[in-house]
Amino acid sequence: MKPPAPRILMVGTALEGRGGVAAVVSVLRQHGLFERERVRYVATHREGSKAEKAKGALSGFWQTVLACVSQHPAVVHVHAASRASFVRKSIVLLIARLAGCKTIFHLHGGGFRQFATVEAGTLMRRWIRHTLEASSVVITLSAGWADFVRAFAPKARVAVVPNSVPLPAPSGIRGEAQRVLFLGRIEETKGVFELLGAGARLATRFPDLRLVFGGEGDAEALRRRASELGILERIELPGWLGPRERDGQLARAAVFCLPSHAEGLPMSMLEAMAAGRAVVASSVGGIPETLVDGNNGLLVPPRDEAALAGALQRVLGDDALRARLAERARATIEQHYSTEVVCGQLSAIYRDLAGTQ
């Protein structure tokens, strides 16, 4: 028997990929959103060589055209970031509009403001604005990003839907008292070198300090800088971590640290909060709308090594503060970022666009 046509066509990166969007969509699928809403997923990006990426993009476009023409989904929902991701998804949205589908532009990635206002030339800026305003709904991850979209594309219809994370059972593990965990791409814009500098400042005060950098990127540059700072023996570089390895590292950590220069609403931070870990993060993107400084985490200005060292010293040196931040972080996820809440918000948007209840 032929399966029913999808009501929602969702387009993004390949789910076996290692980025935040793949993690976001995987959570939605695992929670049952795809089955309840009859979602078909099409990937227009996958990791690999340039030829493999081009082949994946062309295959995704062709599948989108076929789905829009032959299956007539009510809504085409794309997950997009900046630069090449935006270009790919803007073409998908154009295809969907020409086929008469309602469209959702779901904005991810902390670099979109820079891309839209600084990097893009005049014609690209107009195309970005047109794409946002022509979409039936633009979903942003936070109110601050919604304000940016409304200012940049005044005619856009914007809804705020945060990322969601599953809530694991409490591990009951306190973590190693001086172990700091970073999860993300190892690159300058993620603040990894500020974290190294902060670690060097704290090394004498915390003799068992360990800095763990989980992720892919320029690991050799990180090692060189750690060696220059005299803390090479204090860092660990386990590489990219799958879900099981990530959960194991979160269980061992005393503190999760994300000192990024720009962010949307990082999944790694939400996962750390859900795992009941104290968080120190930079006050960029949607982070300050999730973390309230001194309540469920500590916030520091981006690119401020001294402030980062001060915040880490506070939380590493005060067991009671660390426990309180961790408890309130988990409560924040329970109340606002659970998969049940977020899937409900997406279902409501789908029903509104499709004209169903």
- Measured CA to CA, the distance from residue 259 to residue 29 in angstroms comes to 29
Q: HSE (CB half, 13 Å, CA atoms) of 116?
A: 24
- Measured CA to CA, the distance from residue 38 to residue 46 in angstroms comes to 23
350 by DSSP, 3-state: which?
Answer: helix
- Measured CA to CA, the distance from residue 250 to residue 277 in angstroms comes to 7
Whether 5 shows a pLDDT value over 90: the answer reads no
- Measured CA to CA, the distance from residue 301 to residue 320 in angstroms comes to 24
CA dihedral for 43, 264, 257, 219, sign (positive or negative): positive
- The predicted-structure confidence for 307-328, as pLDDT tens digits, reads as follows 999 999 999 999 999 999 999 9
* pTM, entire model: 0.88
CA dihedral for 183, 184, 186, 188, sign (positive or negative): negative
What's the CA angle centered on 215, arms 161 and 49, to 5 degrees?
A: 90
Domains, the chain, in order of start with CATH, read 8-164+338-354 (3.40.50.2000), 179-336 (3.40.50.2000)
- The predicted-structure confidence for 241-279, as pLDDT tens digits, reads as follows 999 999 999 999 999 999 999 999 999 999 999 999 999
Predicted confidence at residue 3, as pLDDT, reads: 62
Whether 2 shows a pLDDT value over 60: the answer reads no
- The predicted-structure confidence for 29-75, as pLDDT tens digits, reads as follows 999 999 999 999 999 988 888 899 899 999 999 999 999 999 999 99
- Measured CA to CA, the distance from residue 266 to residue 293 in angstroms comes to 17
42 by DSSP, 3-state: which?
Answer: strand
Q: Which amino acid is at 355?
A: G
- Measured CA to CA, the distance from residue 120 to residue 126 in angstroms comes to 9
